[in-house]
Structure 1
Amino acid sequence: MTEQQRRPTLMDVAEAAGVSRALVSIVMRGAPGAAESTRKKVLETARELGYRPDSRARLLRSARTRLLGLSFFTSEPFHAEIVDAAYAGAAERGYEIALSAVASGRPETRAAEALLDMGCEALILISPTLGSQELSGFARRAPVVSLLRDDVGDQVDSVSSDNHAGIRLAVEHLAALGHRRIVHVDGGAAVSADQRRDAFRTEMLRRGLEPFVVPGGLTEEDGLRACASLRDNPPSAVIAFNDRSALGVIEGLRTAGLRVPADVSVVGYDDSQFARLSYVQLTSVSQDAPLLATAAVDRAVERLAGADAPAHLVRTPHLVIRNTTGPARPS
């Protein structure tokens, strides 16, 4: 590293300002003990030199890191929206977020371990796929909040969205538009897939309608593949497991010469950025990522502040109606 590349230090600021290193430290920490004129001079010198406090050193000197660890799946765009909101929620509570990705070749256990290795005081795991015993093991080392999944045992906090209420909103919307042959393209083995599949069957039967379920998954390819099995006898409406799957369904329908929503209406789930694209405008069940993220951060902070027992918070989703749903075609 050259002299020009070297990071300015407290001593550099002290020498340039003509004061002691201890006085510069007082100013940088915002502690009392420095005259206002001296404080202004030190801060101006620090700006000119490009000095920034070393947060890592500060954390090492502190008994608290004030770090919340957040694991997410790189394959899930909706998780990115939660991450964005979590940063804002953590900042409001005086915490920072450390990220660890679950990706190909990097399992969820490694992602969580890495966060603990960084000194995170609590973990927020988005859609964890770990078993209850594994989650409890992490919870014995630090508070753990499961986000988007609630069946995590009694040692782990959870913040989730009411999947039954979300599916009910979708079915109600389509039924009110006159749709009777409604298909659910499910999420396969994904977190929450069972709950949404069961809710679909319940809500359809409650209205005297036959619940058609087609195996699907998390991606556009899964939706496209599921749609291929519907071409011979297309439904009047489809409720997909998530927005990505819904996009695959829409592409499959258009490839088959069917119009959305004139021939088939489509509802997604998550109200992700994909749903809001101007050329998509997908009707979707919104889980409200900012509210979920903030609730998860709040719960983690509450546990760190001394809340004894884990809590399970369930938020109610809402339906955002856009251009991919419309009245059913007359029989």
Structure 2
Amino acid sequence: MQIYQIEYPISQDNFQPSVIAIGYFDGVHLGHQQVISRACEKANELNLPCGVMTFSPHPKEVLGIGAKIDQITPLESKLKLFEKMGIDICYIVHFTKHFAAITPEQFIEDILIKLNVKGVVVGFDYTFGDKGVGNPETLRDYAEGRYTVDIIEPIFDQGKKVSSTRIRNLLASGKVSEVKRLLGRNYSFLGKVIHGQKLGRTIGFPTANLELLEHYTLIKNGVYVVRVKNKGRSFLGLMNVGFKPTVNDKKVTSYEIHILDFNEDIYGQVLEVELLEYIREEIKFKNIDQLKEQIKKDLFSLHSWYNYAILHKG
């Protein structure tokens, strides 16, 4: 996949013709996938490369609507997903206040036409240009036969629209299986293994303490069954997300994972963690012995979940 970092105004003018899907695509959920898949279908019809246009940083950060925005899929993760979907070209437009202030017509003439776009695919709620006054119909109004426009209607799941906001709310509620259904894959994040209190090894359950690499969408505190990927290998594990109230008075969220059948030094390494199941909320125990007994119960829950998943090919 070719990746182009685009600054407005664009100085380069020798871009190859393509069909592109446009959007921020946080989550790359089933609705986003529908937009991107249609772009690839259109590209095949026209015998052109299939591309995606996305934006960085998040528009709300630039426009002062929020601080650092928590994301379901940060840019690097999105790029990997785009590549898996067969995307040939990715245009990453640097979102600035100057870019945000351009008119819809300028976006079309100075971006789409400059990039030699022959087909555009967007979601029904896509907006662009100063104050978001441009919409899918605006794209059609200004096309003048130079490019085609496909507008994708929303995707519904159990009567509700599939959206990034809905997925964030589900993550905050610990509803892992529903998130998987809307994403079409397990929710995952990347974290670097750092030194912690090393309490886990003293009670027989060593843990890897993670420092998240990006501002990921917050997930519900508690204990999860997870799949941990490290150097091409996968392991099951238990992850506790929260404040560790039994052994810690500080209100600082930590991510600790006990990896099954694993005894290697991985400090400084990056792990990919997939959420498989939410087991329980975080509990403050009276003593360490109660904590140890609960961990044993959690491990039993993990094995029960695994056996059920294998039986049902989950």
Scaled by the length of structure 1, the TM-score of the pair is 0.29
Q: Which has the higher helix share?
A: 1
Normalized per residue, which structure has more strand?
Answer: 2
Q: TM-score, normalised by structure 2?
A: 0.30
| Structure possessing the higher radius of gyration over alpha carbons | 1
